[in-house]
Amino acid sequence: MATYLFRFDFQHTTETIKKLSSVQYLSFRKLYIAIQVVIGAVSVYFGAMSSDLVKQVLFMFFGCWLIISWKQIPDFRASKIITQANGELPKCTFAFSSEGFSVRTGNKEKNREYPEIIRIVSDGTYCYLFIDKERGYMVPSSEEFKTFICEKTSLQIIPVKSIFFVSFRQILKERKNTKN
């Protein structure tokens, strides 16, 4: 039997589901968000330059909507998960050993190896361990755990950043620091 170095019991709430969905989308869909914001800005520009009042209103409304609505996709995904859960949001138990980690949700237990983690993101309160672009785990964060998980995965932790505060250097760091 493995000796667990870290063990976390984590009860999801509607807020944690929304946060996980948002972090996942920000972590892997920056290009989509950027394209949406650029199209929105171009639409606003065309609206401002148009001499026809109807075109002005339509272009500017559409552009403004695109610029501010990028967050609707992760919110929709989170709402879908919350609805499917029927008020029974998952409680997960995470156990990390030197060989790998296990995730128990209800009666199901999944054993994982550290090389399965393709990216680690942190917002200070939680670490998000992504298995792929669509699936990840949210665990409470501590400096000891961050050091441990970085050693086991050979990945660096990427901070959560809004699309509006991301630099080209940050995007390159994320690409370099993600396993395929």
Q: Which pLDDT score, from 0 to 100, does residue 103 have?
A: 96
The four Cα atoms 112, 113, 114, 120 give a dihedral, to 10 degrees, of -20
What range does the domain containing 22 cover? 4-176
Alpha-carbon distance of 148 to 3, in angstroms, equals 14
- Strand 101-105 vs strand 157-159: parallel, antiparallel, or unpaired? unpaired
What does the pLDDT read at residue 116?
A: 96
pTM of the model: 0.85
pLDDT digits (tens, 9 = 90+) for 38-75: 999 999 999 999 999 999 999 999 999 999 888 899 99
Lowest mean pLDDT among 33-37, 59-63, 142-146, 147-151: 33-37
Report the pLDDT averaged over residues 26-33: 86
Q: What pLDDT does residue 144 have?
A: 96
Question: Would you call 104 exposed, middle or buried from its count of C-beta atoms within 10 A (0-12, 13-18, 19+)?
Answer: middle
* pLDDT at residue 148, rounded to an integer: 97
CA dihedral 8, 96, 107, 117 (to 10 degrees): 110
For the chain, the average pLDDT equals 90
Q: Based on the structure, what is the number of domains in the chain?
A: 1
Taking 3-state DSSP, the helix, strand and coil percentages for the chain, each rounded to the nearest 5, stand at 50, 25, 25
Asked whether the predicted pLDDT for residue 79 surpasses 90, the reply is yes
pLDDT higher than threshold 60 for residue 34: yes
What pLDDT was estimated at residue 100? Answer: 95
Tell me the sheet residues that pair with 53: none
* H or E element that contains 124: none
